[in-house]
């Protein structure tokens, strides 16, 4: 039996590295829900056991059912029916039924709505596992953030109307944000929301590039204030898929064929307001998109994991000149680079989730009425710190993981050579699926624009200084020195940028600053993973139980201690090889080179004639 959780040593290692019991206490409080909901945990230990059982369930479903159907789903795609509805591929329908029966479609919803009340970190792990099996399916499974948004901001009446259906797997949803003339610039949204004489709301207009736009529940960003332009004229609404909502077309895409991308027409569609008017973009959609960006980071990890495993297996079995091609230095260098970058992106993404889970807890606590002045002040300080940190790490994770995903998928094809270019192997599908990850939910360029603010406002420096306070052993002195030197170089580069007028130079050098900050952060994460004791003492690996996966790799046999040794090796390589890159990037930043702006016309030339 294949299991995409049990066979992944790194995810299982990180499950034990992070304090899952602490997250359980943040999520469950006094565990009193166990008295009224049979599936709710009665203690932190009970919760952690439940968490791992959930990952086992998702891993088994992914390995045994979802992955074998992925090729068929990719070939079949979705069907637009004459009445404006959409029919999923047969494999997608079966997969959604499988996940609903496994009761994992309400991963983060509270128990009172039938949900599992899991932390974001655990949900991200499950998203990665599903994405490895079928990246397109994750675009439906991973949209549970829509239910989270309803839970966070809607009235209790709306919550009761929709959330139990999400938890049961009876409902899927869509984030209905972009329009033909409003892609990344959501402030330009024109779709109209208006009220009739009774005060009931309706939607009228067109939306485009809507992932799973055929879902039963649609969260729609619309202009509720016709006399007000920009973001403050927008509100968020929820509506049902019904006779007044038509899918006008399905986009013919390069990849993720199992995920329907729709153009929607709303013909005076009845809807309900989520939260308050005029906060649709600034508050609600920003929260929704931050969750979606972490989801795309997880999707990127899953695609890259799948592509790497095909390449690793092929390199070990394909012989040229009498030896397996993995014996060649150039192939080894490709594979080791793929593996290290994959683990680096996973470390950054999971760390982001850890921060987000703590931020969400502080926000919940801050909303309580029984706090004294000292508690309110302390929570406010924590909220401010965590918000700034998550505001930097979230776009970093999406940017880094999606770029890594594209690189790993590309290199996987290279390892397979001509065979990788053919549809005989899954890597060509992984490469097609990977390409969208650095585009949707905000391109890599937009993620850099968001992340560089955190680098330049001191958030990155403070975070790195906190990491440097870790009790590193003497044997790591050379690596810690490199990280400290890199931090000092980054601080110098940031000071230079801040001394420039306006924000143009910061945006021009944003990628270099963000790349340098990520390398330093990940370096610390690798070292700390190699040193800490497991926070969960469940059996790390039972080789007799773990079967080979459908990708034909060997069963996982590493112990937690083996993985720590692995992290030491990976960390040393990562820090040593990137130290000179950090220096180079910072030197380029302080060079003051503005040629991309000043010499643009001379180098690029005129717009080509049609």
In sequence order, what are the beta bridge partners of 210? Answer: 262
Residues of 363-379 as b/e, b for ≥16 C-beta within 10 angstroms? bebeeeeeeeeeeeeeb
* Euclidean distance between CA atoms 55 and 119, whole angstroms: 13
Taking residues 502-506, what's their average pLDDT?
96
Tell me the three-class secondary structure of 550-592, residue by residue.
CCCCCCCCCCHHHHHHHHHHHHHHHHHHHHHHHHHHHHHHHCC
Distance (Å, whole) CA 315 – CA 131: 23
Better-predicted residue by pLDDT, 464 or 610:
464
pLDDT in the model for residue 540? 62
Cα(462)–Cα(430) distance, integer angstroms: 37
| 3-state SS assignment for residue 238 | strand
Bridge partners (DSSP) of residue 373 are none
Neighbours of 240 (CB within 10 A): 17
Quick one: angle between helices 44-61 and 90-101, nearest 10? 160
Cα-Cα-Cα-Cα dihedral sign, residues 522, 523, 526, 528: negative
Whole-number Å distance between alpha carbons of 270 and 265: 13
User: Has residue 69 got a pLDDT over 90?
Assistant: yes
Residue recorded with tokens 């007000």:
228
Helix, strand, or coil (residue 230): coil
CB 193 within 8 A of CB 201: yes
pLDDT for residue 562 = 94
Q: Is the model's pLDDT at 541 over the cut of 90? A: no
pLDDT in tens, 338-350: 999 999 999 999 9
Domains within the chain, CATH numbers bracketed: 1-171 (1.10.540.10), 173-278 (2.40.110.10), 287-442 (1.20.140.10), 459-596 (no CATH)
Cα 212 to Cα 140, 247, 251, 275, 569, distances in angstroms: 7, 10, 11, 23, 42
Which band of pLDDT confidence, cut at 50, 70 and 90, is reported for residue 271? very high
Mean pLDDT, rounded, of the chain: 95
Beta-strand (E) ranges in 302-457? 319-320, 323-324
Find the helix or strand (DSSP H, E) in which 272 lies.
strand 261-274
Query: How much is the pTM?
Result: 0.95
Q: What are the tens digits of pLDDT across the range 139-177?
A: 999 999 899 999 999 999 999 999 999 999 999 999 999
At 123-144, the pLDDT tens digits run 999 999 999 999 999 999 999 9
pLDDT single digits (tens) 364-417: 999 888 899 999 999 999 999 999 999 999 999 999 999 999 999 999 999 999
**Which value, to the nearest 10 degrees, does the dihedral of the CA atoms of residues 351, 355, 356, 359 take?**
180
CA distances from 439 to 183, 266, 402, 447, 585 (A): 11, 26, 9, 10, 24
Between the alpha carbon of residue 130 and those of residues 49, 409, 484, 526, the distances in Å are: 20, 17, 38, 25
| Rounded Cα distance, 217 and 245, in Å | 11
The distance between the two most distant Cα atoms of the chain, rounded to a whole number of Å, is 81
Query: Which pLDDT band holds residue 185 (cuts at 50, 70, 90)?
Result: confident
Distance CA 252, CA 78 (A): 10
As a dihedral over the C-alpha atoms of residue 522, residue 528, residue 533, residue 535, rounded to 10 degrees, the angle is: -50
Q: How far apart are CA 322 and CA 452, in angstroms?
A: 50
**DSSP output for 182-198:** BSS-GGG---EEEE-TT
pLDDT confidence of residue 544: 33
Write the pLDDT tens digit of every residue in 274-324.
999 999 998 999 899 999 999 999 999 999 999 999 999 999 999 999 999
Instruction: Kindly report, residue by residue over 434-448, the tens digit of the pLDDT.
Output: 999 999 999 999 999
User: For position 184, what pLDDT does the model report?
Assistant: 83
The span from the CA of 129 to the CA of 600, in Å, is: 43
Q: What's the DSSP call for residue 119?
A: -
Cβ(554)–Cβ(457) below 8 Å: no
Q: How far apart are the first and last CA of the chain?
A: 56
pLDDT single digits (tens) 549-580? 444 444 445 799 999 999 999 999 999 999 99
Beta-carbon contacts of residue 538 (< 8 Å; ≥ 6 apart): 16, 48, 49, 52
Q: Which two three-digit tokens encode residue 57?
A: 């369930």
Neighbours of 263 (CB within 10 A): 18
Q: Does residue 306 sit in helix, strand or coil? A: helix
Q: Are 140 and 96 in contact (CB under 8 A)?
A: yes
The CA-based angle 206-212-214, given to 5 degrees, is 65
Q: What is the mean pLDDT of residues 73-81?
A: 98
Q: Which has more confidence, 553 or 333?
A: 333
Q: Count CA atoms within 13 Å of residue 43 on its CB side.
A: 2
């Amino acid at each position: 039996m294949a299991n995409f959780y049990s066979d992944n040593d790194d995810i299982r290692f990180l499950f034990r590295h992070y304090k899952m019991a602490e997250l359980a206490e943040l999520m469950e409080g006094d565990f009193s829900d166990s008295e009224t909901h049979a599936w709710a945990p009665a203690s932190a230990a009970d919760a952690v056991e439940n968490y791992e059982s959930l990952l086992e369930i998702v891993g088994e479903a992914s390995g045994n059912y979802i992955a074998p159907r992925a090729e068929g789903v990719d070939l079949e795609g979705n069907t637009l029916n004459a009445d404006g509805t959409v029919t999923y591929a047969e494999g997608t329908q079966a997969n959604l039924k499988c996940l609903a029966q496994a009761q994992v479609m309400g991963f983060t919803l509270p128990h009172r709505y039938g949900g599992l009340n899991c932390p974001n970190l655990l949900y991200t792990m499950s998203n990665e596992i599903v994405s490895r099996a079928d990246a397109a399916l994750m675009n439906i499974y991973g949209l549970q953030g829509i239910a989270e948004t309803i839970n966070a901001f809607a009235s209790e009446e709306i919550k009761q109307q929709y959330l139990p259906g999400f938890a049961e797997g009876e409902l899927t949803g869509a984030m209905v944000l972009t329009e033909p003339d409003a892609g990344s610039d959501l402030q330009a949204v024109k779709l109209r929301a208006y009220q009739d004489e009774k005060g009931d709301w309706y939607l009228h207009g067109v939306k485009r590039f809507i992932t799973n736009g055929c879902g039963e529940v649609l969260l729609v960003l619309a202009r509720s204030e016709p006399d007000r332009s920009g973001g403050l004229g927008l509100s968020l609404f929820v509506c049902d898929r019904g006779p007044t909502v038509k899918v006008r077309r399905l986009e013919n895409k390069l990849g993720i064929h199992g995920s329907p991308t729709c153009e929607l027409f709303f013909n005076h569609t009845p809807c309900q307001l989520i939260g308050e008017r005029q906060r649709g973009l600034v508050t609600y959609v920003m929260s929704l998109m931050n969750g979606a960006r972490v989801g795309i980071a997880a999707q990127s990890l899953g695609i890259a994991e799948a592509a790497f495993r095909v390449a690793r297996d092929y390199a070990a079995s394909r012989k040229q000149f009498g030896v397996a091609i993995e014996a060649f230095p150039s192939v080894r260098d490709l594979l080791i680079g793929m593996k290290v970058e994959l683990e680096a992106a996973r470390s950054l993404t999971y760390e982001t989730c850890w921060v987000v889970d703590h931020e969400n807890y502080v926000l919940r606590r801050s909303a309580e009425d029984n706090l004294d002045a000292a508690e309110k002040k302390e929570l406010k300080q924590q909220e401010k710190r965590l918000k700034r940190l998550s505001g930097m790490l979230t776009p970093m994770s999406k940017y880094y993981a999606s770029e890594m995903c594209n690189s790993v998928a590309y290199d996987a094809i290279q390892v397979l050579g001509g065979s990788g270019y053919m549809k005989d192997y899954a890597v060509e599908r992984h490469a097609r699926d990977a390409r969208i990850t650095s585009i949707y939910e905000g391109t890599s360029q937009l993620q850099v624009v968001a992340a560089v603010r955190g680098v330049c406002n001191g958030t990155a420096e403070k975070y790195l200084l906190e990491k440097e306070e870790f009790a590193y052993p003497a044997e790591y002195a050379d690596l810690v020195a490199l990280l400290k030197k890199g931090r000092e170089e980054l601080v110098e580069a940031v000071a230079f940028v801040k001394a420039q007028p306006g924000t143009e130079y910061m945006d021009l050098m944003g990628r270099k600053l963000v790349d340098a900050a990520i390398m330093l952060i990940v370096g610390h994460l690798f070292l700390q993973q190699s040193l800490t004791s497991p926070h969960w003492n469940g059996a790390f690996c039972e080789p007799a139980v773990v079967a080979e996966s459908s990708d034909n790799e060997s069963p996982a046999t590493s112990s937690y201690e083996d993985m720590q040794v692995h992290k030491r090796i990976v960390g040393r390589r990562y820090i040593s090889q990137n130290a000179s890159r950090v220096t180079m990037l910072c030197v380029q930043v302080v060079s003051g080179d503005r040629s991309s702006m000043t010499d643009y016309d001379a180098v690029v030339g005129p717009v080509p004639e049609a």
